[in-house]
Amino acid sequence: MSDTPHFTIKALAPDNDRVLKSLVTLFEGAHGLSHPNKNVYALQYWRSHIGSRFTSLGAFVDGKMAAHIALLPDPHDQLVVQLIFPVVSPAYKQFEEEIIDALDSVIAKQAARRSWNSIFYFDYVGCPSEATFELPIMGSREVAIAPAYFPMIDLSSVKEGNANGNGSRSCRLTIEVRQAILNKSNEERKILYVPERHASVVNFLYEPFALQREFRSVAESSTTGTVISNPFFADCPAVYEDYFSPIETIHLYVQPSLITAAQKLQLLRKDGDAKARYIFLNMQDPACIALCQEIESQGFSFCGVMPCFFGQENIIYFWAEDPSFDVEAVRSLRGSKLARHMEVEAKKRHAHGILSAIVHKRANYETISSS
């Protein structure tokens, strides 16, 4: 009899409680009760979402569940798919490479059959190493770092079918965003407008995708007044708002040439329920550079890109009550370069803020002295 483990990938059924209990146990074994999404501990969540909201794939080693990942088509664009709930049992970490290869093969077949344009997923920055699940699925690469994206919930008690717990949301978790561009058959050359201070790192983040992109840091006079629209957001052409209430995070998709002064004020607000705000600006719009500069002047910070996402080429800015994150905890080489750039920019803003305060105080002093 061979000692070689047997790997199989199976779609999980929402009505198979025995398998779903194994899934909950899998998350408990990898994360204890501290997974940032408390739903993973609730049987009812899996019963009501598998098959109707997403497809759950279990990786089995000799018949025992060793890992899991789910495929979530975006409600706005079914050809963009997020990989969610990745987890591997610490008992099977030695087989992680084989498990990923098996998952990659299954996902690639689905992607080809359904003509997906893009996949993306989140990697939690700073999670213990035994709880991480590296996913170089289909050539995905790091494109953004999102500080304070998720509330960190420390569950002290979770009962079957009930994941309310007694956790605190005071601390928020940083994520690294990874993406793969799958369907390049209709790709065409595009000119993207990006602020000069971020041009080098934006080009670096785009490099692995081999897309036909030309980056410009100055909008030519011939493009002044050019209006760029996006059919994905036809009902809200200038600013499309997507608020994720369970995690108190908001996404705002912006066409810079269409935004009005009133909409800009709404875009840059820092009150309300959202603890973190992420602005996705369309770099195909020549007005992008000027709006980026204005956004930065109002305390928003550059944090990456998302190519070919919702029909536009996105440069991303964020604001959070606490924007800090552990740069050293970003494990990937490409992510580390982005994190260092963000760190340098934060120091520049801090120094500029101190200088501005000094100049302001000096001006006040001179006014008082001359009166």
Residues 217, 163 share a domain: no
Among the candidates 141, 162, 181, a domain finishes at 181
**Distances, alpha carbon 271 to alpha carbons 69, 267, 366, in Å:** 35, 11, 35
Same domain, 273 and 304: yes
368 lies in some domain: no
- 371 is a domain residue: no
100 with 175, same domain: the answer is: yes
Q: Which residue has the tokens 């994720």?
A: 244
Q: Which two tokens stand for residue 245?
A: 């209430």
Q: Compute the radius of gyration of the chain from its Cα atoms.
A: 23
Q: Verify that 207 and 171 share a domain, yes or no.
A: no
Encode pLDDT of 276-318 as tens digits.
999 999 999 999 999 999 999 999 999 999 999 988 999 999 9
Q: What is the DSSP letter of 159?
A: B
pLDDT at residue 235, rounded to an integer: 79
- Is the domain of 229 the same as that of 328? yes
Same domain, 254 and 320: yes
User: Looking at residue 176, which CATH number applies to its domain?
Assistant: 3.40.630.30
Q: Are 56 and 106 found together in one domain?
A: yes
Q: Do 111 and 236 reside in the same domain of the chain?
A: no
Taking only the tens of pLDDT, the chain with its 371 residues reads 457 788 899 999 999 999 999 999 999 998 888 887 888 999 999 999 999 999 999 999 999 999 999 999 988 888 999 999 999 998 988 888 888 889 989 999 999 999 999 999 998 887 655 556 666 677 889 999 999 998 875 443 333 334 444 344 458 889 999 999 987 766 788 999 999 999 999 999 999 998 999 999 987 666 666 777 777 777 788 999 999 888 899 999 999 999 999 999 888 888 788 899 999 999 999 999 999 999 999 999 999 999 999 889 999 999 998 888 889 888 888 999 999 999 999 888 776 554 444 444 445 545 544 55
Residue finishing a domain among 149, 181, 213: 181
User: What range does the domain containing 280 cover?
Assistant: 190-355
Asked whether residue 167 falls in the same domain as residue 89, the answer is yes
Co-location of 155 and 269 in the same domain: no
Instruction: Assess whether 265 and 176 both reside in one domain.
Output: no
Letter string b/e over residues 352-363, b meaning 16 or more CB atoms within 10 A of that residue's CB: eeeeeeeeeeee
In a domain, 17, yes or no: yes
Give the pair of three-digit tokens for residue 303: 């944090």
* Neighbouring-strand partners of residue 118: 80, 181
How many structural domains are present in the chain?
A: 2
pTM, 2 dp: 0.85
Structural domain ending residue among the three candidates 181, 215, 242: 181
